[in-house]
Structure 1
C-alpha cells in the first residue's frame, strides 16, 4: 500500500545551494557499466530478478561495444549557436538519421546482446532486428526518437532504444555544457528528451538539489524541487511511496496534470540509478496504475507500463 503527503520531506535542504551546476553531462565509459552493477545488485533480492539480469546484460553490451566505435559528429558550430539562441536542444532528435556511426552502433549492440539469457519472445525480437532492412531499422529509430512505439513491436524497439542510448550518450558527452540553455523543466537541454526519473543528489557542489535524468542521452539537468517536471506546476504536489520502504523512492504526483515521475533520494543512497531503480521499483507503478495519476516519464525498458 502507498501513502501520500503534500509536503516533501527535508524542506530545509531546498535551496541550500545557491547555484548548483545546471547540467552534468554523461560519461559513456562509466554510465552503462555502473548501471549493470546496480541491476545485478538489485536482482539479488528482487522478485524481478530474471528481468533485471536481462537488462543488466543489455547494459553490459552497451558498455562493451564502445571501444573502437567511430566517433559521432556533433552538429556544426552555427547550428549549435542557433539552438542556444532559440532555446532548442543542440542534438535534434527529429533530424537524427541512420548514419554509418549509428548503424554500426546498433549492429554491434545486437551482436553483443545475442549471448545474454533472455525470454523466448525477446530472443525472437532480437532476431528480427538483426535481420531488419535499413528502412525497417530507420522506422525503429524514428519510432524511439518520436516516443511513438507501436504496441505490437515493443521488444524490437527496446533493442533500438538501447543502441540509441549509446549513440546519444556519446554525442552528449562531447557538448560544451557552458553553451547549453534551459529548454523546459521536462525536456533535456541536450537532446530534448523526457526524463526517466529525477534525483535529489548528495554531490558536494549541489547537495539537496534535484536533477532530472534524460531517458535517452543520460544527461542530468537541474530542476527546482516540489514542482511538477511534466507541467511545471508548483501546486498540488504530493508524494506516494510503498509503506515500509526506506523512503528513498517516491512518486511525485501532480494534481494539475494528474501525472507522476519517480524521485530518488540519492543523498540518502548514493547507489540509486535513475534507470535501474526505476525498473526495480515497478511495484510502485503497479500500485498507481489504476489510480488517478498516470506515469509521465519514459523508460524504454518499461514500455507498456
Structure 2
C-alpha cells in the first residue's frame, strides 16, 4: 500500500450541488437489512470475510428484533422547540432507565445474536453481556455513548452499541427533518452522536453534496465539503487514499486539529453503505497509522484493530 499525495482541492466537482436538506432520517425497517446485504457483498472479495459475515448477521439481528416492538413515540413539541431555540439535538441520551422498550431491545438483540456464527471470544463476550443485569446494560450504554470502548471489553460493548443503534434509529425515524437545526461541528443534529464517516452522494437534489453518517442513530446530515468534520477548519485540508482502489474512499485530513475521517464517494460507487464500507476499508486505517493524524469520529466496529 502506498500513500497518495494530498489532493488540492477535493477532485470531485462541487458545482453540481443543488439544495440538499439538512438531514435524511433513518428508516429502521430497511436500514439494517441493507447494511447486512452490503456486508455480505463486501465479504465476497475481502480478507476480512469472516468478520464482515459476522457483522452481517448482527445487522440481520438488528433488523429482526424490531418486529412487535411498540412504535416509537414522537418527542413532545416543547422538546423540539427548546432544541431549536438552543441549537441542541432533540433526542436526549438520558432517561433510558425507565424505558421498557430499551430493555426489550437489549434482551432481544442479545438473544438474536446468540444464533450468529461467531468466534469463541465473541460468543463468550455475548454470554457475559446477556447475563448482566439491566443496570449493568445501562452502565455499558453510558460508556458507549461517551464514545470510548474499554480495551478489555470491546466485544461486549459492541453488542450494546448494536442495541443502542436500533433504539436511536427508531426514535430518529419519527422526527420531522424540517424541524432540525445544525449543532456543533462533528455532532449529529438528531442525537448528538459523532460521525462514523461521511459520503459524497449522487442523489437527485443533492448530487455532489457531502453527508455525515451518525454512528449512533444513523441519521445522515449535510456538511459542506473541504471542511474538517472534527473541528470545522477549512485550512490545511488534504486527502489520502490507497492507490489503485477506485478512488471511492479517502482519508480527509486536517492540519489544524491533526485529525482525519473517512469520506466515501457514493456518487462513484452507488452501493456504498457508510458503516459497512467503513469496516471493509480497514486498509486505509492501517495506512493512516503510519502518519501523524489521528482518526476522529466514532467507529466501534474497528475498535481493537
Q: Same fold (TM over 0.5)?
A: yes
Any idea what the Cα deviations from partners look like across 1:51-81, whole Å, max 9, x if unmatched? 0000000001011111111223343221221
Any idea what the Cα deviations from partners look like across 1:134-180, whole Å, max 9, x if unmatched? 22111111111122322211111000000000110000000011110
Inter-CA distance 10–87: structure 2 relative to 1 (3 Å threshold): same
Q: Which residue of 1 aligns with 2:132?
A: 132
Q: Which residue of 2 aligns with 1:274?
A: 274
Inter-CA distance 235–95: structure 2 relative to 1 (3 Å threshold): farther
Question: Quick check: 2:65–2:112 contact (8 Å CA) kept in 1?
Answer: yes
Matched, 1:123 2:123: yes
Question: Quick check: 2:18–2:207 contact (8 Å CA) kept in 1?
Answer: no
Structure 2 residue runs of 5 or longer lacking an equivalent are none
**Counterpart Cα distance in 1 of 2:280 and 2:163:** 21
In the comparison of the two structures, how many residue pairs are matched?
304
Q: Which residue of 2 aligns with 1:3?
A: 4
**Counterpart Cα distance in 2 of 1:24 and 1:226:** 21
Any idea what the Cα deviations from partners look like across 1:230-271, whole Å, max 9, x if unmatched? 000111111111111100010001111111110000001110
Aligned pairs for 1:200-219 within 5 A: 200-219=200-219
- SS for the counterpart of 2:153 is helix
1:83, CA displacement in angstroms? 0.9
Where do 4+ consecutive residues of structure 1 move more than 6 Å? Answer: none
Structure 1 residue runs of 5 or longer lacking an equivalent are none
Question: Quick check: 2:75–2:175 contact (8 Å CA) kept in 1?
Answer: no
**Counterpart Cα distance in 1 of 2:5 and 2:123:** 40
**Counterpart Cα distance in 2 of 1:275 and 1:89:** 22
**Counterpart Cα distance in 2 of 1:197 and 1:95:** 28
TM-score (norm. length: structure 2): 0.96
TM-score (norm. length: structure 1): 0.96
User: RMSD over aligned Cα, in angstroms?
Assistant: 1.3
Inter-CA distance 180–38: structure 2 relative to 1 (3 Å threshold): same
**Counterpart Cα distance in 2 of 1:23 and 1:266:** 16
**Counterpart Cα distance in 1 of 2:17 and 2:51:** 38
Any idea what the Cα deviations from partners look like across 1:106-156, whole Å, max 9, x if unmatched? 111111111111111100010011110122111111111122322211111
